[in-house]
């Protein structure tokens, strides 16, 4: 042992070991005195964060405003915790559940943040203004854009439905002036049908941000070509068999509307093309027609018509002392009927009983044409103009004698001259294409016929479809 203590190397080794032990002891004491290490806390602030509105009873209330609309958000926690926060995944909430009409201060909440962070909102509350909604019924107005093709006319737009509901806050209800939709008809040649979106406008025409129910309606704009309404002529041609007469004639439409170019319509006075032949009718009959389309005509309304011809047994009657009418007299001549001397004739007529019953003498004319006659004695035919469905019967005077002489300044002792020139009756009796009657020369044969419809001559006809007998003549 003494030898070790006298050995310098041994002493150095022992000194090193003792030093190491002392260092270890001191180090352990320092750690025990300071305690465990605390983690560091940090924060992150996000500005201008949007607010999500939830819980609003949109059926009853309108959110007029809330202020502010954006807030600042501060998240506090450890650095590790903040690194896990993705701000896009979380939201700031304004919950309006159970909030009623008026001004309110409502607290904001946040959702979706992890539990190991603290969230601070600035400001924590917002001012909210709610207004109660009301429903207002408003008519729909449809405005047309453009014009139809040349010669075509646009009618009034028809919207279905034609009234809609506007849901608006009570404070804005009076600002709703109209609900309007637009439809384009530019260049249209036929009716335009579209679904049209509606918007509510104020009195200045500015669009209002309100709910329109429904906000889309079906709209139709009728587009028509030029048209004209004219009489429809159905021509009765031929004569009824002997012993029968037309008692009445009826057609389902007296007029038709013709759709055609304006140039065609300018000269159109009536529409014809339909005919009924009386020659084989011994009983009442109804005819059905498809109204024909002439060249250039696009459409006719109505396109179908019916006509009923009532056939009855004919009866005869005599209209006494009908004055002879001289047509075509010239001022430089005097005219005198020498036979018959009275200047009148008895006119025998044939027609249906009801027509004969109501027939007046002044409805019948006996006409003698004296135009272009030189002086002398002339035997001239008599033509009879008669009302509709009245015919001259057998036995009428066929000719008369007329003396034509140069006019003298004084005439005396001469028989009274027949009535001066007279035009045919204004009702057009006997004119081609007019009802019934006709002209008779001399002793006309029995039978009642003629033509009916409008004035004018027929320009091509269409035979009637087979009708149904309505029974034997009365």
Query: For 278-290, what is each residue's pLDDT tens digit?
Result: 998 999 999 999 9
pLDDT tens digits, one per residue of 163-204: 999 988 887 888 899 999 999 999 998 899 999 999 999 999
User: What mean pLDDT comes out for the span 356-382?
Assistant: 94
- Closest by alpha carbon to 253, among 270, 278, 277? 270
Q: pLDDT at position 421, please? A: 46
Report how far residue 268's alpha carbon sits from residue 258's, in angstroms, rounded to the nearest whole number.
Answer: 9
Q: What percent of the chain has pLDDT over 70?
A: 82
Q: Give the C-alpha separation, 311 to 313, whole Å.
A: 7
| 273-299 burial: b if 16+ Cβ within 10 Å, else e | bbbbebeebeebbbbebebeebeebee
The string over 138-151, giving b where at least 16 C-beta atoms fall within 10 Å of a residue's C-beta and e elsewhere, is: bebebebeeebeee
Please tell me which residue, 318 or 84, carries the higher pLDDT value. Answer: 318
Confidence class for position 234, pLDDT limits 50, 70, 90? very high
Element (H, E) at 316: strand 315-327
The pLDDT assigned to 458 comes to: 37
Say yes or no to pLDDT of 420 above 90: no
- Residue 120 above 50 pLDDT? yes
pLDDT of residue 31: 56
Please confirm whether the linkage preceding 123 is cis (ω < 30° from 0). yes
Strand partners, 164: 138
As a CATH number, domain 133-224 is 2.170.120.40
What residue spans of 209-337 are helical by DSSP H? 262-266
Residue 80 has pLDDT above 70, yes or no: yes
Residue 407 has pLDDT above 60, yes or no: yes
Residue % of the chain over a pLDDT of 90: 55
Residue 456 has pLDDT above 50, yes or no: no
Strand partners, 64: none
Token pair, residue 138, equals 């408003």
How far apart are the C-alpha atoms of 168 and 200, rounded to whole Å? 10
**Cα–Cα distance list, 171 to 63, 102, 426 (Å):** 12, 12, 71
Residue 392: is its pLDDT beyond 70? yes
For residue 470, the model assigns a pLDDT of 47
Mean pLDDT of 50-56: 91
Q: Check residue 390 and give its pLDDT.
A: 94
Instruction: Take residue 192 and report the two structure tokens written for it.
Output: 């335009």
Phi, psi at 29, each rounded to 5°: -65, -40
Q: pLDDT: is 462 or 27 the higher one?
A: 27
Cα(323)–Cα(366) distance, rounded to whole angstroms? 7
With beta carbons less than 8 A apart as the criterion, state whether 65 and 46 touch. Answer: no
Domain 41-132 has CATH 3.40.50.150: no
User: Is CATH 2.60.120.10 correct for 227-313?
Assistant: no
Task: Report strand pairing: 125-145 vs 163-169.
Answer: antiparallel
Domain covering 315-406 in this structure, CATH number: 2.170.120.30
The domain locations on the chain are 41-132, 133-224, 227-313, 315-406
Q: Rounded distance, CA 32 to CA 457, Å?
A: 134
Equal CATH topology for 41-132 and 315-406? yes
- Residue that has been written with the tokens 């203590």 in this structure: 5
Residue 60 in this model has a pLDDT that exceeds 50 = yes
* pLDDT, tens digit (0-9, with 9 covering 90-100), for 147-171: 998 878 899 999 999 999 998 888 7
Higher pLDDT, 218 or 6: 218
């Amino acid at each position: 042992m003494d030898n070790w203590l006298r050995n310098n190397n041994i002493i150095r080794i022992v000194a090193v070991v003792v030093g190491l032990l002392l260092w270890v002891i001191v180090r352990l004491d320092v750690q025990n005195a300071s305690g465990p290490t605390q983690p560091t806390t940090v924060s992150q602030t996000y500005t201008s964060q949007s607010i999500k509105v939830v819980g609003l009873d949109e059926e009853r209330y309108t959110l007029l405003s809330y202020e502010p609309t954006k807030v600042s958000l501060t998240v506090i926690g450890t650095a590790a915790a903040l690194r896990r926060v993705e701000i896009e995944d979380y939201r700031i909430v304004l919950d309006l559940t159970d909030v009623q009409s008026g001004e309110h201060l409502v607290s904001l909440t946040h959702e979706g943040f992890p539990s190991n962070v603290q969230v601070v909102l600035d400001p924590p509350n917002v001012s909210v203004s709610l207004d109660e909604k009301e429903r207002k019924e408003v008519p729909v107005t449809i405005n047309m854009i453009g014009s139809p093709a040349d010669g075509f006319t646009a009618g009034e737009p028809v919207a279905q439905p034609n009234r809609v509901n506007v849901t608006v806050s009570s404070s804005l209800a009076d600002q709703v002036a109209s609900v309007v939709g637009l439809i384009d008809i530019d260049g249209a040649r036929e009716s335009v049908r579209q679904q049209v979106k509606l918007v509510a406008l104020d009195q200045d025409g500015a669009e209002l941000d309100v709910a329109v129910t429904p906000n889309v309606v079906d709209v139709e704009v009728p587009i028509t070509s030029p048209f004209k309404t004219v009489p429809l002529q159905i021509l009765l041609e031929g004569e009824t068999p002997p012993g029968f007469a037309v008692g009445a004639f009826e057609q389902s439409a007296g007029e038709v509307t013709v759709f055609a170019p304006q140039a065609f319509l300018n000269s159109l006075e009536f529409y014809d093309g339909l005919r009924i032949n009386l020659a084989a009718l011994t009983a009442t009959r109804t005819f059905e027609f498809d109204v024909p389309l002439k060249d250039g005509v696009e459409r006719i309304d109505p396109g179908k018509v019916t006509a009923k011809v009532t056939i009855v047994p004919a009866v005869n009657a005599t209209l006494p002392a009908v004055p002879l009418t001289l047509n075509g007299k010239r001022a430089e001549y005097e005219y005198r009927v020498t036979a018959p001397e009275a200047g009148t004739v008895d006119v025998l007529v044939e027609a249906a009983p009801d027509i004969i019953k109501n027939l007046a003498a002044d409805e019948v004319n006996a006409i003698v044409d004296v135009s272009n006659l030189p002086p002398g004695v002339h035997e001239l035919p008599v033509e009879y103009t008669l009302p509709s469905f009245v015919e001259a019967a057998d036995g009428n005077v066929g000719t008369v004698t007329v003396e034509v002489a140069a006019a003298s300044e004084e005439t005396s002792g001469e028989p009274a001259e027949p009535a001066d020139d007279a035009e045919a009756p204004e009702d057009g009796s006997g004119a081609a294409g007019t009802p019934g009657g006709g002209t008779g020369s001399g002793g006309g044969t029995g039978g009642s016929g003629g033509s009916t419809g409008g004035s004018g001559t027929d320009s091509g006809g269409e035979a009637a479809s087979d009708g149904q007998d309505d029974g034997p003549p009365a």
